[in-house]
Amino acid sequence: MPELTRRRALTAAAALTAAAGIRAVDTPAASAAEHHHGSPGAFDEVYKGRRIQGRPADGGGHHHDHGGGYAVFVDGVELHVMRNADGSWISVVSHYAPVPTPRAAARAAVDELQDAVLLPLPAN
């Protein structure tokens, strides 16, 4: 049996770490919850009496696709969302309060709007 050297131990540790990282990222649960490029899956629910929906966008949207390929709607009106570099999400309604998911952004918008109607943003 070859002698265990520091180099071999570090190489083995690096290989195990890399293998563990790949396995953690490629689990079925992670694949089911996220679509292409880490985009969250679709949702459709009623939150505080308002219908909120979210789904991966087809890429044909306007505003330079700031939503990271994801579309969110409150009562059928598009809520413009943007994914930050750290993976958090913000919306046009709650721009200074990052949240972890587009669903959380939709809920935060409903909380902020209360009974007010979300008005569509004009396309430039």
CATH of the domain at 106: 3.30.1880.10
Half-sphere exposure of 12 (CA within 13 A, CB side): 6
Q: What is the pLDDT of residue 42?
A: 96
Q: Is 96 found in the same domain as 67?
A: yes
Q: Is 44 found in the same domain as 25?
A: no
Answer whether 102's CB lies under 8 Å from 54's CB: yes
Task: Label residue 95 by pLDDT band (50, 70, 90).
Answer: confident
Is the sign of the CA dihedral 77, 79, 80, 81 positive or negative? Answer: negative
Residue type, position 3, single letter: E
Is residue 120 in some structural domain? no
Task: Label residue 103 by pLDDT band (50, 70, 90).
Answer: very high
The backbone torsions φ and ψ at residue 28, rounded to the nearest 5 degrees and listed phi first, read: -60, -35
Start-to-end CA span in the chain (Å): 70
User: What are 1-54's pLDDT values in tens digits?
Assistant: 567 666 665 565 555 454 444 333 443 443 344 444 567 899 999 999 999 999
Q: How many helices (H) and strands (E) does the chain have?
A: 3, 6
Q: What is the pLDDT of residue 43?
A: 97
Q: Is 79 found in the same domain as 29?
A: no
Q: How many domains does the chain contain in total?
A: 2
Q: What is the pLDDT of residue 28?
A: 41
Radius of gyration of the chain (CA): 21
Full-model pTM: 0.64
Would you give the distance in Å from CA 59 to the centre of its chain? Answer: 15
Q: Is 45 found in the same domain as 19?
A: no
Is residue 58 in some structural domain? yes
Q: Which residue segment(s) compose the domain that 25 sits in? A: 1-33
In sequence order, the 6+-apart residues with CB closer than 8 A to the CB of 34 are: 40, 41
Q: Is 87 found in the same domain as 68?
A: yes
